[in-house]
């Protein structure tokens, strides 16, 4: 479910990409999309603009200090590089040194070695190597089969551990190009889920190896192929043990492979340094928490090559912070502390003794850039004001570009030095009509509501442009709701003529609960073994407070909408807080956690055997008798993530209680049908009709 988290984070600004939702047919110059600024080198930044000749575009390169511009016409024809790897894995090697052009096909996740001498790829469950100069192919493994894959990820690892951005790749080149680390997966004993493709006369069954909570997980081994010795060494782990492995990392010297090992209960992490010559390992970092330890972090470990040290990101104190260790595994010092979250490590300058990070020390709804001393942990904020900043450091970190905004200030772009001094403002997304029309546009408020136990829950409320406080209005709550997946951001997104707020003349709100990430791991831990409880309680509390604050909200027309985990919470909200939520639109919803995958579910819930009460109370199926409002359910029939059986079981339970609801199936759609043009339009029209009927007085 990890990819949905990324999609759900609304309002994070890219460098130079305004997020104002201005209709394309708007006659007003209200808020504009800005150019994408990027670094050319240490002293020049650049952006593309329409060519002064009227055709094509030109690259504008600007000197940081002087502001002097140079323009270059962008070529209209594409000049391929010497070695081009397509998204589908196909490769083109340009003609060179008297050799003809080479095209390679039917390869998966083709990856070029750091020294550009070899290509590694998978095919048919095996790992292969292609020598570019010799044009030779070598098969590195031979046991690939229908349920055995070398260098190709099992479904559960691709979805929940390695991440969908890996596209099932499970191999990693060493920096010296002499070794390849890879994972071998054996799904032989993993239960199979079948999906039905029914577009032809006969139904085609599509199998997916998909472990449910408590099921057998894949057996996983970690191998290291040595190109010089033409041999595979296996890391000293028992593949039959109930365990998980996170993404391995090569040391900068390529002399060790750091392997992240996690127990099946996902509360004990051990990072070991594996010797690629022997496979023997030594423990260099261990972490245990009472609830869970996340293993899906891409930057859990960052190496400092000159000092032979490494950084660890951990939320073991209740907040995500940085710790400096030496290669023996000894803690040198904590680098950051406090009740705030380190979001990312943006750049390490080891010789200068500093690193640059993004975090939310000032406000959990915003991001800022900070400079941290490796020597004593001193932190300096480099960004300014009450804004959310999205930054891009120059290659040598002497300067950075910031795209910044808040809920009431459209995006601006500025360039600053590494002491936080503004050198110049580069762009402002405000159009010429902004000041004149601002008072007529839809408006937003960012508020906090304090619970009785002290959590100041953030909410972002959008009001239609023509709000009439003397009449009643409906309220739509837009949520995702998963652990550490907050959506309330203090950035600008919204504009003149917001189609949903204005056309439907309704109020919309985003709310984040205590486990959303705003309150660190400390807040997330409330969700342990108890999904669907605090989320609904916190959402209902905030909605009730909003109704008190804005008496023009009609309590009988409060709706909620979400997809995936948000679909689950939508259903639970209608069933567990029917006095607050009167209508809901739920898409791709988990309805019982026994039907979702093992890794994600057990991380938060443990197994059904270990936590039977939690699985019972977190299931929507046990509350269907409470349905009083209007519920719309949507589901893709080829959803390999949240299987259609979730929807079918909910439908069955509702019918047994003689509850009325709406159901829409999207044939051959996976976990989301928004890329399928006609189905996407159909879905929007259906939701609009449902909203107009049940969420607007």
> Residues spanned by CATH 3.40.50.1820 within the chain?
435-694
- The band of 98, judged by pLDDT with boundaries at 50, 70 and 90, is confident
Q: Is the dihedral of CA 274, 252, 288, 184 positive or negative?
A: negative
Residue 496 has pLDDT above 80, yes or no: no
The stretch 390-417 carries a mean pLDDT of 97
3-state secondary structure of 124: coil
Q: What is the tens place of the pLDDT at every residue in 271-297?
A: 999 999 999 999 999 999 999 999 887
pLDDT reported for residue 441? 82
The stretch 347-374 carries a mean pLDDT of 97
Which letter, b or e, does each residue of 376-394 get, where b requires 16 or more Cβ atoms within 10 Å of its Cβ? Answer: eeebeebbbeebbbbbbbb
Residue 13 has pLDDT above 80, yes or no: no
Residue 436 backbone phi and psi in degrees, to 5: -70, -35
Q: What is the tens place of the pLDDT at every residue in 28-51?
A: 888 899 999 999 999 999 999 888
pLDDT reported for residue 494? 54
30-34, 50-54, 75-79, 149-153: least confidently modelled range: 75-79
Residue 324 has pLDDT above 90, yes or no: yes
Residues in a beta bridge with 399:
417
Q: Give the single-character DSSP code of 501.
A: I
Residue 265 has pLDDT above 90, yes or no: yes
200 versus 125: the higher-pLDDT residue is 125
Residue 200 has pLDDT above 90, yes or no: no
Q: Are 162 and 170 in contact, with CB atoms under 8 Å apart?
A: yes
Q: Give the single-character DSSP code of 99.
A: B
- The band of 172, judged by pLDDT with boundaries at 50, 70 and 90, is very high
189: tokens are: 């004993």
Biggest alpha carbon–alpha carbon distance for the chain: 81
Q: Are 154 and 232 in contact, with CB atoms under 8 Å apart?
A: no
Residue 25 has pLDDT above 70, yes or no: no
pLDDT reported for residue 77? 57
592: tokens are: 């019982």
- The band of 8, judged by pLDDT with boundaries at 50, 70 and 90, is very low
Which letter, b or e, does each residue of 316-326 get, where b requires 16 or more Cβ atoms within 10 Å of its Cβ? Answer: ebebbbbbbbe
**Which residue, 616, 160, 565, 455, is CA-closest to 605?**
616
**Residue 689: Cβ within 10 Å count:** 12
Q: What is the tens place of the pLDDT at every residue in 559-590?
A: 999 999 999 999 999 999 999 999 999 999 99
161: tokens are: 């551990």
**Any idea which fold 435-694 has?**
Rossmann fold (3.40.50)
The stretch 666-679 carries a mean pLDDT of 94
The stretch 68-84 carries a mean pLDDT of 75
Three-state helix/strand/coil letters over 625-647: HHCCCEEEEEEECCCCCCCHHHH
Q: Give the single-character DSSP code of 500.
A: I
- Show the beta-strand stretches assigned E in 277-406: 281-288, 301-304, 309-314, 321-326, 331-334, 342-349, 354-359, 368-373, 379-381, 388-393, 399-406
Residue 649 has pLDDT above 80, yes or no: yes
Residues of the chain with pLDDT > 90, as a percent, come to 84
**Residue 29: Cβ within 10 Å count:** 15
Residue 145 has pLDDT above 60, yes or no: yes
Instruction: Report d(CA 383, CA 390) in Å as an integer.
Output: 10
3-state secondary structure of 175: coil
> Residues spanned by CATH 2.140.10.30 within the chain?
107-296
**């670094």: which residue's tokens?**
39
- The band of 63, judged by pLDDT with boundaries at 50, 70 and 90, is very high
**Which residue, 280, 275, 229, 233, is CA-closest to 250?**
275
Q: Are 494 and 463 in contact, with CB atoms under 8 Å apart?
A: no
38-52, 413-427, 617-631: least confidently modelled range: 38-52
Do strands 57-63 and 44-50 pair parallel, antiparallel, or not at all (unpaired)? Answer: antiparallel
pLDDT reported for residue 23? 45
pLDDT reported for residue 289? 98
Q: Which long-range contacts (CB under 8 A, 24 or more apart) does 521-526 make?
A: 521/289, 521/291, 521/315, 521/316, 521/318, 521/319, 521/320, 521/484, 522/318, 522/319, 523/455, 524/291, 524/483, 524/484, 525/290, 525/291, 525/318
Q: Are 624 and 653 in contact, with CB atoms under 8 Å apart?
A: yes
DSSP assignment of 591-604: --GGGS-HHHHHHH
Kindly compute the dihedral angle of the four CA atoms of residues 15, 17, 20, 22, in this order, to the nearest 10 degrees. Answer: 170
CATH of domain 107-296: 2.140.10.30
The reported pTM is: 0.93
Q: What is the mean pLDDT of the chain?
A: 92
Residue 3 has pLDDT above 80, yes or no: no
pLDDT reported for residue 21? 40
Residue 4 has pLDDT above 60, yes or no: no
């Amino acid at each position: 479910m990890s990819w949905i988290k990324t999609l759900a984070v609304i309002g994070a600004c890219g460098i130079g990409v305004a997020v104002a939702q201005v209709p394309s047919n708007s006659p007003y110059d209200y808020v504009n999309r800005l150019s994408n600024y990027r670094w050319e080198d240490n002293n020049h930044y650049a952006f593309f603009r329409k060519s002064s000749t009227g055709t094509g575009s030109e690259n504008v390169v600007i000197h940081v200090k002087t502001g002097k511009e140079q323009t270059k016409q962008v070529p209209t024809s594409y000049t391929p590089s010497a070695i081009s790897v397509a998204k589908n894995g196909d490769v083109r090697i340009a003609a060179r040194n008297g050799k003809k052009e080479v095209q390679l096909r039917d390869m998966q996740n083709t990856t070029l070695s750091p020294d550009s001498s070899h290509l590694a790829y998978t095919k048919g469950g095996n790992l292969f190597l292609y020598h570019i100069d010799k044009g030779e192919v070598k098969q590195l493994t031979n046991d690939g089969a229908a349920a055995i894959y070398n260098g190709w990820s099992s479904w559960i690892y691709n979805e929940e551990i390695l991440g969908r951005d890996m596209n099932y790749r499970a191999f990693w080149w060493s920096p010296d190009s002499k070794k390849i680390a890879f994972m071998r997966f054996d799904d032989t004993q993993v239960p199979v889920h079948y999906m039905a493709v029914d577009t032809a006369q006969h139904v085609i069954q599509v199998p997916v190896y998909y472990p449910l909570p408590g099921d057998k997980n894949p057996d996983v081994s970690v191998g290291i192929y040595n190109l010089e010795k033409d041999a595979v060494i296996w890391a000293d782990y028992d593949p039959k043990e109930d365990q998980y492995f996170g993404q391995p990392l090569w040391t900068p010297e390529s002399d060790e492979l750091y392997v992240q090992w996690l127990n099946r209960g996902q509360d004990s992490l051990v990072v070991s340094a594996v010797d690629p010559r022997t496979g023997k390992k030594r423990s260099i970092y261990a972490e245990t928490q009472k609830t869970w330890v996340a293993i899906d972090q891409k930057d859990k470990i960052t190496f400092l090559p000159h000092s032979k040290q490494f950084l660890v990101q951990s939320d073991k104190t209740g907040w995500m912070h940085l710790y400096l260790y030496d290669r023996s595994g000894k803690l040198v010092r904590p680098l950051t502390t406090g009740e705030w979250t380190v979001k990312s490590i943006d750049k390490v300058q080891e010789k200068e003794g500093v690193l640059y990070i993004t975090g939310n020390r000032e406000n959990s709804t915003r991001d800022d850039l900070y400079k941290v001393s490796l020597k004593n942990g001193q932190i300096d904020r480099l960004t300014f004001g009450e804004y959310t900043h999205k930054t891009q450091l120059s290659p040598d970190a002497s300067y950075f570009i910031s795209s910044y905004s808040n809920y009431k200030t459209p995006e601006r772009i500025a360039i600053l030095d590494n002491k936080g001094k503004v050198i110049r403002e580069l762009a402002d997304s405000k159009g010429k009509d902004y000041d004149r029309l601002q008072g007529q546009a839809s408006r937003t408020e960012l508020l906090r509501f304090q619970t009785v136990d002290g959590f100041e829950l953030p909410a972002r409320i959008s009001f239609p442009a023509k709000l009439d406080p003397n009449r009643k209005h409906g309220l739509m709550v837009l949520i995702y709701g998963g652990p550490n997946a907050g959506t309330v951001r203090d950035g600008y997104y919204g504009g003149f003529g917001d189609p949903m707020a204005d056309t439907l003349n309704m109020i919309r709100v985003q709310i984040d609960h205590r486990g959303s990430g705003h309150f660190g791991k400390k807040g997330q831990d409330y969700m342990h073994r108890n999904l669907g409880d605090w989320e609904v309680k916190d959402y209902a509390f905030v909605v009730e407070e909003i109704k008190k604050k804005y008496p023009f909200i009609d309590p009988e027309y409060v709706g909620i909408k979400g997809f995936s985990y948000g679909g689950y919470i939508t259903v639970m909200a209608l069933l567990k807080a029917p006095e607050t939520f009167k209508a809901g639109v739920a898409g791709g919803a988990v309805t019982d956690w026994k039907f979702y995958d093992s890794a994600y579910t057990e991380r938060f819930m443990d197994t059904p055997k270990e936590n039977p009460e939690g699985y019972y109370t977190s299931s929507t199926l046990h509350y269907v008798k409470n349905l009083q409002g209007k519920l719309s359910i949507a589901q893709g029939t080829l959803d390999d993530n949240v299987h259609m059986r979730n929807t079918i079981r909910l439908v069955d339970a509702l019918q047994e209680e003689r509850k009325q609801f709406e159901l829409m199936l999207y044939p051959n759609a996976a976990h989301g049908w928004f890329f399928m043009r006609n189905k996407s339009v159909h879905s929007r029209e259906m939701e609009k009709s449902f909203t107009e009927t049940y969420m607007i007085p």
